[in-house]
Each structure stands twice: as C-alpha cells, then as structure tokens.
Amino acid sequence: MKARFLALLCLLIGVPLFADEKPKLPAITKTVMFNTPDADKILSAMQIFPVDNPWNEDISKLPVRKNSKAIIATIGAEKKLAYNLDMGFIIVPPTQKKIDVKIKDYADESDKGPYPLPDDAPVENWPLDNRTLEASQTGKENADRHVIVVDPTNMMLYEFYQGRKVGTGWECACEATFDLKSNKLRPDGWTSSDAAGLPIFPSIIRFDEVERGMVEHAMRFTVRRTQRAYVYPATHYASRLKDVDLPRMGERFRLKADFDINGFSPHMQAILKGLKKYGMYVADNGGDWRLSVAPDSRIKGLDEFRKLKGSDFEVVEPTGPNEGPRAKK
C-alpha cells in the first residue's frame, strides 16, 4: 500500500519514482532562454537522442587507438585545455510560428523550412558579448554566429550557421534539423552548423547537468588542424590535410581513467566525470583543446580547465555502423 501511494504521489507532482527516471516534461507555452531555472526544469526532463545513440554511449571501456599518442601530439600534448562560453540556445513551445529563413551558402546541404525560429533567439556568444540581444542578432561580424532552437515537446532541434537578423527576417549560411527521438545522421558528406556534420545542442555543457553532478553525454571541442576524413557519427570533413596522425572529424577522446579529479570544484568534477565516461568529439576547426560551454554565469570553476593538458586524454576506437575512417580522396 505504501509503495502504491508513493508511486501515485510521484506521478501527481511530476517527480521520478526512481533515480534514473526523467521527470515529467513541463508544459511549454512561451520561449524560454537557456540560462534560466525554467530551462533547467525542461532540460532535466529531456531524453536527448535515444539511450543507444553515440552521444549517450559509455566509452570508458573502449580500446585506445594505436596512434592515440601521435594524434594527441599533433594537437599538443602539453597544451592546456580551454573553453568557449559560446553556445546559448532558445527553447520554443510546440505552437511556435514557423518562418522562412534565407539560406545563402549551403542550401543544397540544408534541411527544408519553414523553421520555428523566434524573434528572441540568441546568437552565439550572447549575452557575454556585452551587447544587447538585438545588437547581437544583427551584428555584421564574419563569425560562426550559431543559432540553436530546441523544441522539447516535439523533440526537434534546429541549428543555424551564421544566423543573422536582416530587416524583419532571418538569414543563415546553413541549417541542420535533427530529430532528437532518432539516431538518424546527416546524409553522408553533408555539413551542419558544425563542420563535422554533428549537432551542437547535445554536446553543450549546461548548468542543469553540472548542478546534478555529471555531464551525461559526449561533449564537443575544436582543434586547429584536422584530417581530410571523418568517422562515425560525423558526416563531413573540413581540411585538405592527409596526415593520418591528425584527428578526423568525429574523432572521440576521453579523459584517462586514472586522472585525479579530487580537488576540482563541484561543477568541474561533473564535467570531468563526463569526459571519462562519454568523452568528447572533434567537431570543428578552431582553437586547440577548446570545449563548448553554455554562456551561463551560473556555471562555476571553468578556469580549472587550465589544470588539464592534452596528454591527460586518449583517443578511442570508434564504434557504430560506420566504424572506421571514411576518408574522401
């Protein structure tokens, strides 16, 4: 009788009965910015991609690639880790109006609209770029300017590369739509808003998860030089270099199991635990060893990344239906 009462009570108040269960998704009736308590409640209730998706794969026991040390050396074994407070996003209700967006450069590798892109969508680096939202949306700088839109009710993700408001509308260089209920990849050879053809949102280090004590998915990072190849689950490369010791797009790294995380702050320990279990993907060309973090001032201790260096990581053998390199000659 007591167990039945507890189960009914949990159902009524939306609290999971078991620790590994997700809470009930709150009703979403308006746009919600990523760095808010309302967003935390929504995100903690989401199963982002199926549990057997590569982003959710436990890689802690996978074998190390034979040339792991050589790959690390091409990036910099002694270089310190760093982070970018760059990838904000907006959560939209299922009733969000869909609009047309002008796609300038990669229309043939973009998913068809219209898209539920709201007027208040943040652009990469806002609000920590010290600009108003409007100034950030209309900025003229030639940068990545990622815009990320999440529809948790329908479990859909919309990501825009070089998103910009022009007049009363939006334009971008590329748009990639992902079904968060599916393991379906981008078409082979297609880019996304990331050079590797991967989604960005599932990789972002967020406040709700570091507050819970562990980042429970693979993360993304950039390196300056990559190989002219990609490996599952990536679908695209962005390099002319053929050195086999350079990392491929989609290359997966993990923090070594014996790396001591004691002494790190709680939020950093949550990140480091995730890097041991889920690792991080090479997702784009950029600064070496730079991980993407939501520009959320509630996340603390990130400067402790400098206590880690490249040699603290190892490259693992890939898994999945497209296991192994998929180099284009």
Angstrom distance (rounded) from CA 292 to CA 328:
27
pTM: 0.91
Q: Count other C-beta atoms under 10 Å from residue 190's C-beta.
A: 17
Phi/psi for 277 (5° steps) reads -90, -40
Query: Residue 319's pLDDT is what?
Result: 83
Angstrom distance (rounded) from CA 18 to CA 81:
36
SS3 annotation, 87-129: CCCEECCCCCCCECCEECCCHHHCCCCCECCCCCCCCCCCCCC
Report the SS3 class of residue 16: coil
Q: For the sheet containing 313-315, what is the strand order?
A: 82-85, 290-293, 219-223, 280-285, 252-255, 313-315
Chain length of the chain: 329
Which tokens go with 62? 């996978």
Report the SS3 class of residue 175: strand
Identify the segments of the chain with pLDDT beneath 50. Answer: 1-15, 17-19, 324-329
Sign for the CA dihedral angle at 184, 251, 202, 164 comes to negative
